[in-house]
Amino acid sequence: MDYIVFDLEWNQSPTGKEGENPRLPFEIIEIGAVKLNSALEETGRFHRLIRPSVYPTLNFHTREVVRISEASLQNGSPFPEAVREFLSFCGGDVMFCTWGPSDLTELQRNMKYYGLLPLLGGPLHFFDVQKLFAIQFETMKSRRSLEYAAEYLKLERSLDFHQALFDAIYTARVFQHIDPMVRDAYDSIDVYQNPKTKHEEIHAVYNGYSKFISREFDSKEDAVADREVASTYCCVCGRRSRKKIRWFSVGAKNYYCVALCPDHGYLKGKIRMKHTDEGKFYVVKTIRVSSSQEAQEIREKKDAIRKKRNQKR
């Protein structure tokens, strides 16, 4: 298996929300990639500038960050041509690697806009190198910039940042520093192409937490009422665990609960409500080992929300 470490640069509406195409809020204007073999040795590079068709004028923020002129973009390739060449460069048996989760999502959104999404099956397992760097060198929750990671690892920094190929090269070099045990224990799942049926639902277990990605539902209410969505299984032993604090909502998108495993103690459950471009809903549920202190904090959060809601009535 090869690893495809890639980076994208994209543009957005130069006039803000009023000029935005809701089907394509971010239009890819550059693709850069590095191919590594199973021994993490570099075996190839890919680079394409893409001629924009939705936002031909660069947004002021894009102009400040990305070192690409509008004139050079007009000599770029059309996106359908460029993405087909990119997928040909990737080959068959590959694992994508990116700095953060956004690039893989936007690649698929752009492919969908041009009717090319069937060329890339999903949901996609990938390596989020930003997350892997945090787990190995700092903390699970920290998220650093690529420049920070390059400096931390004392990588040679002769290339400019915020150029797709150069950022892909830096990301590949960070990836080469990740311990294989960390890498293999913490792969990520991109769900832009989310499960459609119960058979396609995803159950994954990691070190200290589990993840469940549901099929689609017509409404949020249908989603949280589903037996599998509402269930709490220990992420260590897989045993069904009794809820001590039932699911409650925090805002419109997040739900929390606390369960207790007889063998492994408190478990914190979190549901993130997601919606598709077509208006359907699905959930990403995580169950992780917790503590009595965190359980008490969640109880206090639930009580505070209940009190606030009662005051509004």
At 18 the pLDDT is 86
Give the confidence band of 230 by pLDDT, cuts at 50, 70, 90.
very high
Same domain, yes or no: 209 and 268: yes
| 283 vs 223: CA distance, rounded Å | 7
At 313 the pLDDT is 63
Distance, CA of 274 to chain centre: 13
At 112 the pLDDT is 96
DSSP string, 219-264: SHHHHHHSHHHH--B-TTT--B-EEEEEEEEETTTEEEEEEEETTT
Distance, CA of 117 to chain centre: 17
Residue ending a domain, among 165, 185, 205, is: 185
Give the confidence band of 162 by pLDDT, cuts at 50, 70, 90.
confident
pLDDT tens digits along 260-303 = 999 999 999 999 999 988 899 999 999 999 999 999 999 999 99
Same domain, yes or no: 65 and 163: yes
pLDDT tens digits along 249-270 = 998 899 999 999 999 999 999 9
28 lies in a domain?
yes
At 301 the pLDDT is 93
190 lies in a domain?
no
Residue ending a domain, among 185, 208, 239, is: 185
At 61 the pLDDT is 82
Same domain, yes or no: 181 and 204: no
- Residue 58 carries which DSSP code? P
139 lies in a domain?
yes
Q: Which domain holds residue 256?
A: 195-312
Same domain, yes or no: 31 and 60: yes
Same domain, yes or no: 111 and 216: no
| CA-closest candidate to residue 167, choices 9, 4, 286, 1 | 9
Radius of gyration of the chain (CA): 22
Measure the CA dihedral 73/74/75/79, to 10°: 70
pTM attached to this predicted model: 0.85
Higher-confidence position of 145 and 208: 145
At 170 the pLDDT is 98
| 38 vs 252: CA distance, rounded Å | 43
At residue 71, the 3 state secondary structure works out as helix
Q: How many CA atoms lie within 13 A of 154 on its CB side?
A: 0
Higher-confidence position of 147 and 141: 147
DSSP string, 254-302: EEEEEEEETTTEEEEEEEEEEE-TTS-EEEEEEEEE--HHHHHHHHHHH
Give the Cα-Cα-Cα angle 234, 253, 127 (nearest 5 degrees).
Answer: 60
| 13 vs 34: CA distance, rounded Å | 29
pLDDT tens digits along 48-90 = 999 999 999 888 888 878 878 888 898 999 999 999 999 999 9
**Structural contact between residues 294 and 268, judged by C-beta atoms closer than 8 angstroms:** yes
Same domain, yes or no: 152 and 294: no
pLDDT tens digits along 189-211 = 999 999 999 999 999 998 889 99
Q: For 130-144, what is the mean pLDDT?
A: 92
| 313 vs 305: CA distance, rounded Å | 13
Q: For 148-173, what is the mean pLDDT?
A: 94
User: What's the CATH number where 96 sits?
Assistant: 3.30.420.10
- Tell me the average pLDDT of the chain: 93
Based on the structure, what is the number of domains in the chain?
2
Give me 262's structure tokens: 């007889």
Same domain, yes or no: 22 and 166: yes
Residue bearing tokens 């004028």? 57
At residue 61, the 3 state secondary structure works out as helix
At 252 the pLDDT is 81
Give the Cα-Cα-Cα angle 128, 94, 163 (nearest 5 degrees).
Answer: 55
At 208 the pLDDT is 83
Higher-confidence position of 150 and 140: 150
